[in-house]
Amino acid sequence: MEIRELAVPDSYVLDLVPHGDARGRFTEWYRADVLSQTVGHPLPLAQANHSVSSRGALRGVHFALVPPGQAKYVYCPAGRVLDVVVDVRVDSPTFGVHDSVVLDGEQPRAVYLAEGLGHAFVSLADSSSVTYLVSSGYDPAREFGVSPLDPELDLPWPADLELELSAKDRAAPTLAEARQQGLLPTMAECAARYARLRRV
C-alpha cells in the first residue's frame, strides 16, 4: 500500500495492492494501522455508507461543521468515479484548492480526507459503486454543501458527461457565498480537532 498526500493538506490517496488468482481477486481496502500511522490518529468509525450511481451522477461538494466534522475514507469497488477533495477551511493557506483522483474497480485506490474538507465525486460509468467510512453519523443540522459547478472552484468535471445533481446540490451556494453566510469551518477549528484526535 502506497500513500501520498494530495494538493489539499490533510487528504491522501492510497494505492492498494490487489491479490488475484484463478478464483478472482482480494484487496485489503482499509487498514486502520496504516491510516493511523499516516494521519497521526485512528479514524473514529461511526457510520459506513454505500452509493450506486449512474454515469454522470454528481454528488457533492459536501462537508460538515467542526467539531466534530466528518472525516471520510472513500473506496470504489466497482465502476469508475472521479473523486474530488476541496479545501473549504476558512483561513487555510490552500482555501479553495482542490485535487482529484480516479477511483475504480480495476486499479484499486482509496481517498482519505480529514474533518473540515469538502468532498464530491462524479460517476464515470453506469452502476459505479462507492463505499465510504465516516467518523461521525449523519446530522442534517451540521452538514452543508457548496456548488460543485462554482466557476471560481473550476472543478475538473469531464466535458463529455451530462451531469445529474440532486436539487439540494444544484441549489448549494458558491464557496464565496458559503463563506459570507458563515457556513464554512475554519482552519483554527479543524486544527484544534486534529490535535484533539492525536491526543486521544
Catalytic residues, which ones? 62, 132
Residue whose C-alpha cell is 465502476: 79
Q: Which of 82, 91, 77 is nearest to 189 (CA)?
A: 91
Burial of 20 by CB count in 10 Å (0-12 exposed, 13-18 middle, 19+ buried)?
Answer: exposed
For residues 42 and 38, give the distance between their C-alpha atoms in angstroms, rounded to a whole number.
9
**Distance (Å, whole) CA 197 – CA 68:** 10
The DSSP element (H or E) to which 191 belongs, if any, is: helix 187-199
Amino acid (1-letter code) at residue 101 = V
Per-residue CA distances from 170 to 17, 99, 124 (Å): 37, 21, 19
For 22, which DSSP code? T
61 touches 83 (CB < 8 A): no
